[in-house]
Chain A
């Protein structure tokens, strides 16, 4: 089961890549528009997040996007499940027992395909591929959608975040660093960060665009050595302002001597810029906290139809 899910995923990944970018973007934006406005009251949306047993802010973006989508009244139900919090992924049989709900769209709120989207989520939700038909409620169809990080709008959102955190700062005198986790089981996140960097660099706006990582070279801790511009903007390619982007990376950047309290437990969000090593350093909050992720989640439910 787990392997079948994984294989289906790889195959779909290839199929998607074959589409010329503009055509798929056109259809994605058109389908995305429809998905954002047409109610599907015999369907439910399930947002899958990682969650955390130590950081109270890890699940916040998934919950916030779910609340946004719920308010729009597009689905009969909108729910979240988490790997490390409740409701747990394993609670899936309890979430949508209503027999009038025929379709469930499962959208991983993850930055890339990887260990979680290809192994953990299909295994824990007992998904057999892109489409899984359940015995109970009879015939309920669970559609497994691509993770949010795969969406073509991600590049634009990263750019927008970079502009917001350093308004009016000339891009030609600025290095933009996209920081990902890197290493370990989820190493596709590093690939995803590299793809975003390549797309942004191709626009030729910033003096330099680099992908950096917490746990593998080029290390984010070496930001001052990696760049030579007066301004440096760092955008975490993470889903939440959780342990990594709010507590670990600021220490690696030299913004904090040691990990601070969690974001939600801090009275004031960090001030930008900070002057370190003779540069102006701007640190953004995680890309996944962007409210437009709610639209991206909706649009990912269309990606299956396009593949």
Chain B
């Protein structure tokens, strides 16, 4: 492959153009819209706000810098440590995104590196790491997570990664090298990139992929082992 062809294949802007051309205008909880002239360019908002009149939504025009701020707190003003959690705040519209690079940077601020993950996945180049490997690599205060039992891992992932209230990513990793599913508590759709994890049944949404357990899950594994998450957390999985 020559360099220009490779560049096109791995260009996020080109990929974004392809996705938009296929009317794939949803990424997680974000609805993309192309604006007609004279405005042109793109607008983003929370998909729950798609039916609301524009005037009701606070206008932001600061591109990716504004996106970082919008992604930082939920509706109640709490910090969002996990950007793919289903708690994106409502009531805003981000406009003045004149072109694909501006759109890409804004989306990347809402969901860091997720467009890159999807493109790598489509190109067959997304490295996926089993949970056991992620835990085995840990040192320092997280080394203890290597003691997580299979039953604990099963319950933890089922509770922590669930799409309704946990995280909107589609899990690609397995628990171990033998290919054990990440959790028996999660429905098969949780591992299916074509499925809309927001529960809105959007058939053409762009998935937020999880190629390796995040640091929050590793920290939670530590809490489980240290006994900081016991009866209450466990029962949350059972019900």
Contact = CB atoms under 8 A, between A and B. Distances in A.
B91 interface: no
A56 B72 contact: yes
Count class of interface residues, chain A: 20 to 34
Nearest to A186: B140
Nearest to A83: B215
B23 interface: no
Given A100-B3, A100-B7, A123-B137, A88 B81 contact: no
A94 interface: yes
Q: Is the interface of A mostly helix, strand, loop or mixed?
A: loop
A53 B117 contact: no
A137 B6 CA distance: 9
Contacts of A84: 81, 215
B59 interface: no
Interface stretch (B26-34, B119-127, B225-233): B119-127
Interface in A105-143: 115, 119-120, 123, 136-137
A94 B215 contact: no
B39 interface: no
A93 B73 contact: no
B44 to A, nearest CB: 18
B73 A86 contact: no
A39 interface: no
Contacts of B7: 98-100
B6 A99 contact: yes
Interface residues of B, number: 35
A262 B6 contact: no
B61 interface: no
B53 to A, nearest CB: 30
B65 A86 contact: no
A168 B97 CA distance: 46
Nearest to B115: A94
B106 to A, nearest CB: 13
B215 A119 contact: no
Interface in A255-295: 262, 264-265
Given A84-B215, A137-B6, A95 B79 contact: no
A50 to B, nearest CB: 11
Nearest to A119: B139
A63 interface: yes
B3 A88 contact: no
7 contacts: A52-B81, A54-B79, A90-B129, A94-B113, A97-B119, A99-B7, A123-B137
Interface of A: 52-56, 63, 67, 83-88, 90-91, 93-95, 97-100, 115, 119-120, 123, 136-137, 185, 262, 264-265
Given A53-B81, A91-B112, A93-B120, 9 more contacts: A52-B81, A56-B72, A84-B215, A86-B82, A93-B127, A94-B113, A94-B120, A100-B3, A136-B125
Interface of B: 3, 6-7, 10-11, 65, 68, 72-73, 77, 79, 81-84, 111-113, 116-117, 119-120, 125-127, 129, 137, 139-141, 212, 214-216, 219
